[in-house]
Amino acid sequence: MTFFRRRQSIAMAACAAGIALAAAACGAPSSPGTPTPAHAGQTQSAPSSSPSLAASTAPVPGTAAAVASLAPGFPQKLIPLMPKASLKSSSVDKNSSPASAGLVGTIAAPASAVFTFYTSALTAQGFKAAPGDKVGGTKSRDFVRANGETANISVDEEAGLTTFTVGANVAAGSLK
């Protein structure tokens, strides 16, 4: 796995984990045997064939995720939402090293328009496009800054709709 693909995988995993964390925080009522916010640290006793969940669903400071909106603290200057695009999800993790942010959106425009918009936005911030524009069947472009920070744009076109993911792995101070 190349350096850029590993970074892309980390950004995608962070985005997915952030969305899962947000969904869990907003999630369904507790079932018997799982801690509730009012009884954090305690478990309710009830017969159960599965072990109780030990993980907390409380949000972690410095991380945020949102569905259909920008997550609190999302770095809109680093990764702006393309005009006329519909935002599907976003996440930010200031605690990881490097820090990460990502968004997923859709737009009724060709992939080339998405690449043009985000290439312009990223190069204006000092990122340079790495060689290559495809991973398997997915159109994808990696970017890197001189300080080692990375970004990626991945797109998929289907029936006149382009779905895109933009992620960045940067120093926490770059999340603006």
pLDDT tens profile 106-131: 999 999 999 999 999 999 999 999 99
Residue 35 lies in a domain: no
Residue 59 lies in a domain: yes
Q: How many domains does one find in the chain?
A: 1
Residue 86: its pLDDT value, please? 98
119: region left, alpha or beta (phi > 0 left; psi from -120 to 50 alpha) = alpha
Residue 72 lies in a domain: yes
Largest Cα separation within the chain, whole Å, is: 59
Residue 33 lies in a domain: no
Residue 81 lies in a domain: yes
Residues 45-52, mean pLDDT to the nearest whole number: 39
Query: For residue 45, is pLDDT > 70?
Result: no
Q: How many residues in the chain?
A: 176
Task: Between 26 and 101, name the one with better pLDDT.
Answer: 101
Residue 143 lies in a domain: yes
Query: For residue 11, is pLDDT > 80?
Result: no
Residues 62-77, mean pLDDT to the nearest whole number: 96
Residue 101 lies in a domain: yes
Q: Please name which of 111, 91, 125, 124 lies closest in space to residue 157, comparing C-alpha atoms.
A: 111
Which helix (H) or strand (E) segment holds residue 92: the answer is strand 86-93
Give the domain range for residue 135.
Answer: 3-27+51-174
Q: Please name which of 85, 91, 121, 120 lies closest in space to residue 105, comparing C-alpha atoms.
A: 85
Cβ atoms within 10 Å of 138's Cβ, excluding its own = 10
Which helix (H) or strand (E) segment holds residue 15: the answer is helix 3-25
Question: Beta 128-129 vs 150-158: how paired, if at all?
Answer: unpaired
Residue 120 lies in a domain: yes
**Amino acid sitting at position 118:** Y
Q: Please name which of 24, 174, 164, 159 lies closest in space to residue 96, comparing C-alpha atoms.
A: 174
For the chain, percent of residues with pLDDT exceeding 90: 60
